Structure 1
Amino acid sequence: MTLSIHNEAPRRLEGKFQAMVVCFILGLGSLVAWNSMLTVGDYYYTLFPRYHPLRVLTLVYQPFALGTMAILAYNESRINTRLRNLIGYSLFSVSTLLVLVLDLATSGKGGMGPYIGVCVLSACFGIADAHVQGGMVGDLSFMCPEFIQSFLAGLAASGALASGLRLLTKVGFENSKNGLRKGTTDLAAAGIHNETNHQVGFDAKIQDRLSNKQLVLQNIDLAAALFLIYVLTLSIFPGFLYENTGSHQLGTWYPLVLIAMYNVLDLISRYIPLIKCLTLESRKGILIAVLSRFLLIPAFYFTAKYGDQGWMIMLVSFLGLTNGYLTVCVFTIAPEGYKGPEQNALGNLLVLFLLGGIFSGVALDWLWLMGKSGF
């Protein structure tokens, strides 16, 4: 009997670790396509220099993500979550393929037609994101906190992976003819491969639970925290980093390095809460930390105006560090004390507030262009 108990514990730990790896891969597969589009911003600025592509693409993406998420969250208890996740991952795969097809069909030429096509595909990414992120966070919310942490780390890893691949393709093709386009198409192809290998999902059971309104009212502080985290982050990332940071010694590498530093620190910070003593579990503490981040707005403004690239890289790193850390803290403490169906619904509702924050941040990002010539 004692031997059986001793053998069972390692098997449970091994099974938990395997499940965490699966959750990480699911997170990685859900946003790698969209992050690939963000990291080739230098290519889109070459094709569409007058259209503010990174700002517009994120602005197109978010209303579709937010609207779809609102519908899905409202009908969460009546939706087959497994089917929802499969639809989301499939739409990600198809849209990523079409990004590559569009570039090949237009031979990498700019113009309004290809630009509209890229915007339409950006909207498709938003719809897919709402299906996947809300469904997965909802399901993982009534499992152990490490699972949702791994999924959120996978989301950040998709950005770090896309940035790493983009830097590699820039090294490989920078001096070749049409090198910017070759690097971009290779990155898109890598995104397609990643998407087509991660189309799975989970199911949730319908039981009696608190209403959505009750859940929101009981967790309005955490919902507000998520909203404010992403309002700030998306008011700076990625549009400000591409258009408002000026020219420095790094030249064309500068925005790519800024994006990469944000993504890498965002990923690293999502593992900090695994260390129990470093986890911020106080709701009041989380709100104070979230509100303190708004000091970054004047910091970015004055650094862009007077500082050098080293200070900007440090600020972007801190932006990513705080974004990932606070996101995981909110999502891991929120489900505590609720029944499974309530945790599922609460996960969906929190993602809705997160997407609302992203949409608001993307809209506010345009304020950086006020007074700038060519706006």
Structure 2
Amino acid sequence: MLSWNKWNQTMSLRLRLNLGFSMFVLCLMVTPIVDWINWDQNGTKVKSNATYCVVVVSVVVCGLADGLIGGSLIGSAGKLPKQYMQAIFAGTASSGVLICILRIITKVSLPHTPHGLKTSAHFYFIISTTVLIVCIICCNLLYKLPIMQQHYTHLVQDFLPCSRHKLRDVARTIKCPAFGIFAIYTVTLSIFPGFLAENLESSVFKDWYPILLITIYNVADFVGKSFTALYVVKSTSKATWGCVARLLFYPLFTACL
């Protein structure tokens, strides 16, 4: 929402992306730093309410950064050829696959102890921060490419005050696709990853079961978003009804309890 109104006129896409990625980097550094300073000289962990508050605030800032980056990327890709939009969604899905691979590697290579879990989490924060720094570098190099400068010139010309529309007018125009996106995220976030990570058990796979389920979900998500490079549903109504059909997952997952 912040990237919609006045920020869109005063801040360039490049500045918004750099700001969002920088917010991500700072937030990812908070948790390991807080964990490190909360150990006393005797090696005992010190519990503090302030630590909890700092972590919660960092999660909130992560959400703001995600919205800022997502809105900026999708907004800029909307003016570019369609393969750019597909690449953005496939890229977001690939990040989940990479994190699952990292989790599997750390689970296999590290001991199943609190210290091993802590080391695994630190690997996640270090690698994620490194990837974000690479994203910042690539983001700045991207806008120096001739093809991007050509398209970006047209973007700047299109972002005139006279060409802007109110949010409610845009929402009314795309109400079916917007409702479909709302249904997708509502169903997905209410089931994944909380339900899959905590409420299911298996006597065969044991503690590997949640990891396998989350990995299967992320791989399927990546395949589905990559498949749009080959085929896209042309009918908006069919795509919307397909999104609404995801509500069937509620009784299906309830039956699994």
Using the size of structure 1 for normalisation, the TM-score is 0.58
Structure 2: gaps spanning 5 or more residues: 144-151
Q: Secondary structure at the match of 1:228?
A: helix
Match of 2:149 in 1: none
Residue 177 of structure 1, CA deviation: 7.3
Match of 1:88 in 2: 20
Equivalent AA in structure 1 for residue 3 of structure 2: L
- The reply to whether residue 156 of structure 1 matches residue 93 of structure 2 is yes
Match of 2:193 in 1: 238
Equivalent AA in structure 2 for residue 168 of structure 1: I
Match of 2:5 in 1: 74
2:209 aligns with one of 240, 244, 254: 254
Equivalent AA in structure 2 for residue 145 of structure 1: K
| 1:317-336 paired onto structure 2 within 5 Å | none
Residues 24 and 65, structure 2, Cα contact 8 Å, conserved in 1: yes
Match of 1:290 in 2: 243
Residues 201 and 209, structure 2, Cα contact 8 Å, conserved in 1: no
Match of 1:184 in 2: 121
Equivalent AA in structure 2 for residue 281 of structure 1: K
Alpha-carbon displacement from aligned partner over 1:209-262 (angstroms, at most 9, x marks no partner): 251332221111111111111011111011111222235322222212221111
Using the size of structure 2 for normalisation, the TM-score is 0.83
Number of residue pairs the alignment of both structures matches? 233
Residue 157 of structure 1, CA deviation: 1.0
Residue 175 of structure 1, CA deviation: 4.6
1:266 aligns with one of 203, 221, 224: 221
Match of 1:223 in 2: 178
Return 171-180 or 260-269, whichever deviates more.
171-180
Match of 1:344 in 2: none
Structure 1: gaps spanning 5 or more residues: 1-69, 306-375
Q: Secondary structure at the match of 2:240?
A: helix
Match of 1:172 in 2: 109
Q: Secondary structure at the match of 1:259?
A: helix
Match of 1:301 in 2: 254
| 1:330-345 paired onto structure 2 within 5 Å | none
Residue 284 of structure 1, CA deviation: 0.7
- The reply to whether residue 103 of structure 1 matches residue 35 of structure 2 is yes
Alpha-carbon displacement from aligned partner over 1:243-292 (angstroms, at most 9, x marks no partner): 222353222222122211111111111111111xx321210101110111
Residue 77 of structure 1, CA deviation: 3.7
Q: Distance in 1 between matches of 2:98 and 2:131?
A: 11
Residue 174 of structure 1, CA deviation: 2.6
Equivalent AA in structure 2 for residue 287 of structure 1: T
Percent of aligned positions that are identical: 26
Residue 127 of structure 1, CA deviation: 1.4
Return 73-82 or 235-244, whichever deviates more.
73-82
Residues 84 and 131, structure 1, Cα contact 8 Å, conserved in 2: yes
Q: Distance in 2 between matches of 1:210 and 1:129?
A: 24
Mark the CA change 1:274 to 1:177 in structure 2 (over 3 Å): closer, same or farther: closer
CA RMSD of aligned residues (A): 2.0
Q: Distance in 1 between matches of 2:179 and 2:113?
A: 48
Residues 169 and 187, structure 1, Cα contact 8 Å, conserved in 2: no
Residues 222 and 283, structure 1, Cα contact 8 Å, conserved in 2: yes
Residue 197 of structure 1, CA deviation: 1.1
Equivalent AA in structure 2 for residue 164 of structure 1: I
Match of 2:53 in 1: 116
